[in-house]
Copies of this chain bind each other. A is one copy, B any other.
């Protein structure tokens, strides 16, 4: 591995606190294992807006593009609720996804055994749950044009968003889903609303063709997205890999995350296409949870999702599979030991803060 340049965008709210634990971990890996990571910090979201009026500066964008991987915390908070749409905190994240062409968003929803009881779902429904949502991330209604508000006069306005998907976009995201399914239970469920949306009709058609042409060994099911949401709540263990578009993926992955009772625990990876020459993928890793402004700065945020995102980074960007496995095992071990941050606390467990949790995981690693 020629370089291991990490660009860190901690962002707003609990982002910096969570990122601080990953920084400690990186330092420990460099010191003890000679892992050779180099890190640089940038600004994204509300803090970037405060510093220079944009949700991410061009200079930081350039660093993100050049890095081997980006670690991203969280963005947003009530402080920036009224800033103009174009420079709102989320715009920084959306620009990163779009400019880095991170079309494949991998969101594992796993239920940590130690936490099965803390889900709002019955224990037998979620125990052992392990699904992977593969969400298309650079297309659909997030980026399609026209996207605007028109003043029609007479006190009337019109808000317009456009959902657009081209064959190649559906082909490449379903390819990612099928490849990943082969490393798991070999089962993909594709979700859309083909009964209402033309993009859903095309989605269904292209996934079916891609399956037939290149992945006929994988079991493929199609489900309408609304029925899929219901089935996630009813019996989530029927799924292995779910592949879906940007907006449905946003909804469904949040619901899947919540099922596990571990929303503060879940990581995600956003990957680009492999470079033709170097074979490297651009990549960004971020927790599924948000910036949680209500608990920011109190030292009680759960750093596990951020640390688990770094584990995905080790796995997907640096091929450090053994280290990734070890880090994930360290997280599980600390939970087995009864350590809990406030968000996942339950009777009989030991409540710890962000730093203590980070330290404990690093100690087990």
> Which residues in A have some Cβ–Cβ distance to B below 8 Å?
76, 85, 88, 90, 94, 120-122, 125, 141-142, 144, 147-149, 152, 155-168, 193, 195-203, 225-227, 229-230, 233-235, 247-248, 250-251, 254-255, 257-259, 263, 290
Contacts and interface: CB of A to CB of B under 8 A. Distances in A.
Given A120-B234, A164-B158, A164-B160, A149 B198 contact: yes
A251 B155 CA distance: 31
Q: Among the interface residues A94, A122, A125, A263, which one has the most CB atoms of the partner chain B within 10 A?
A: A122
Q: Among the interface residues A122, A144, A229, A234, which one has the most CB atoms of the partner chain B within 10 A?
A: A229
A90 B148 CA distance: 30
A359 to B, nearest CB: 29
Contact of A197 (B120, B122, B161, B254): B161
Contacts of A290: 227
Contacts of A164: 158-160
Contact of A167 (B85, B155, B200, B230): B155
Contacts of A88: 195
Contacts of A167: 152, 155-158
Nearest to A155: B167
Contacts of A257: 230
Nearest to A152: B166
A350 to B, nearest CB: 24
A203 to B, nearest CB: 7
A159 B165 contact: yes
Q: Among the interface residues A203, A227, A233, A257, which one has the most CB atoms of the partner chain B within 10 A?
A: A233
B162 A162 contact: yes
B255 A233 contact: yes
A157 B198 CA distance: 11
A120 B236 CA distance: 10
17 contacts: A120-B122, A120-B235, A142-B196, A149-B198, A149-B202, A158-B165, A159-B164, A159-B165, A159-B197, A160-B163, A161-B162, A161-B163, A163-B163, A193-B247, A196-B247, A229-B255, A230-B255
A193 B250 CA distance: 10
A156 B141 contact: no
Contacts of A226: 250-251, 254
Contacts of A200: 159, 161
Contacts of A168: 156
Contacts of A229: 229, 251, 254-255, 258
B201 A159 contact: yes
A79 to B, nearest CB: 15
